[in-house]
């Protein structure tokens, strides 16, 4: 479930997983897979000590907000419009609360989810950049203070809300956290 995070550029923004069966993340109207996000964060951390660093990852942008869908309506199964609704049509919210855990193998559904999002979005290379002088990290136009960006990576490390199933983190999350700890 996406949560609200503070950004320097846009105030409070929604970021996070939106369906437990996929590893796709959203940041407002940007969508990208968590493995690519984690790999981009690692690449950013590995760049030499220059004042500005940047890397690119594959992603998507939904221009028309009505095409994103209604997360709460999709979870309840009453509003399956837009990309999020289409995702919940494929992967309905679990009937049991104990089954509501982020699946560490969500990467296996990437090609299906990629086919779904292409009905609603355009492919959009997404730039992650680190500005050491201002202590900010940007995901495209969304600028985060370093502490807030660390909260985004911590969210991914936890498996968001509701957390990773059985607390098992995918290898790409483990690799990101290992690199960030260095």
Element (H, E) at 124: none
Asked if 33 contacts 25 with a C-beta cutoff of 8 angstroms, the reply is: yes
> For residues 117 and 175, what is the distance between their CA atoms, to the nearest angstrom?
27
Closest CA to 173 of 55, 4, 35, 62: 35
CB within 8 Å of 31: residues ≥ 6 apart: 24, 25, 59, 60, 61, 62, 83, 117, 121
pLDDT value for 127: 97
Mean pLDDT across 3-15: 98
pLDDT in tens, 166-176: 999 999 999 99
Cα torsion angle, 17, 118, 75, 140, sign: positive
Question: DSSP letters along 27-38, please?
Answer: ETTEEEEHHHHH
pLDDT value for 53: 84
Least confident residue range of 27-31, 32-36, 45-49, 175-179: 45-49
The count of structural domains within the chain is 1
CA contacts within 13 A on the Cβ side of 141: 8
pLDDT value for 182: 86
**Start-to-end C-alpha separation, the chain:** 29
Mean pLDDT across 67-84: 96
Q: Which domain holds residue 74?
A: 3-181
Q: Is 51 helix (H, G, I), strand (E, B) or coil?
A: coil
Please state, for a pLDDT cut of 90, what percent of the chain lies above it.
Answer: 90
Looking at the DSSP assignment, which residues form a beta bridge with residue 57?
126
pTM: 0.95
pLDDT averaged over every residue in the chain: 95
Does the pLDDT of residue 51 top 70, yes or no?
no
pLDDT value for 48: 61
Does the pLDDT of residue 18 top 80, yes or no?
yes
């Amino acid at each position: 479930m996406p949560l609200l995070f503070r950004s320097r550029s846009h105030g409070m923004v929604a970021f996070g997983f939106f369906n437990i069966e996929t590893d796709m993340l959203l940041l407002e109207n940007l969508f990208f897979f968590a493995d690519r996000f984690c790999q981009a964060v690692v690449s950013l951390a590995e760049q030499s000590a220059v004042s500005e660093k940047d890397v690119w990852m594959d992603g998507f942008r939904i221009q028309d907000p009505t095409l994103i869908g209604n997360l709460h309506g999709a979870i309840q199964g009453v509003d399956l419009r837009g990309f999020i609704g289409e995702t919940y049509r494929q992967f309905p919210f679990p009937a049991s609360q104990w089954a509501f855990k982020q699946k560490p193998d969500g990467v296996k559904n990437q090609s299906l989810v990629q086919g779904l999002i292409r009905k609603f979005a355009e492919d959009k290379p997404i730039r992650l950049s680190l500005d050491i002088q201002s202590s900010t990290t940007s995901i495209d136009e969304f600028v985060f203070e370093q502490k807030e960006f660390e909260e985004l990576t911590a969210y991914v490390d936890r498996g968001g809300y509701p957390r990773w199933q059985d607390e098992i983190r995918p290898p790409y999350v483990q690799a990101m956290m290992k690199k960030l700890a260095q």
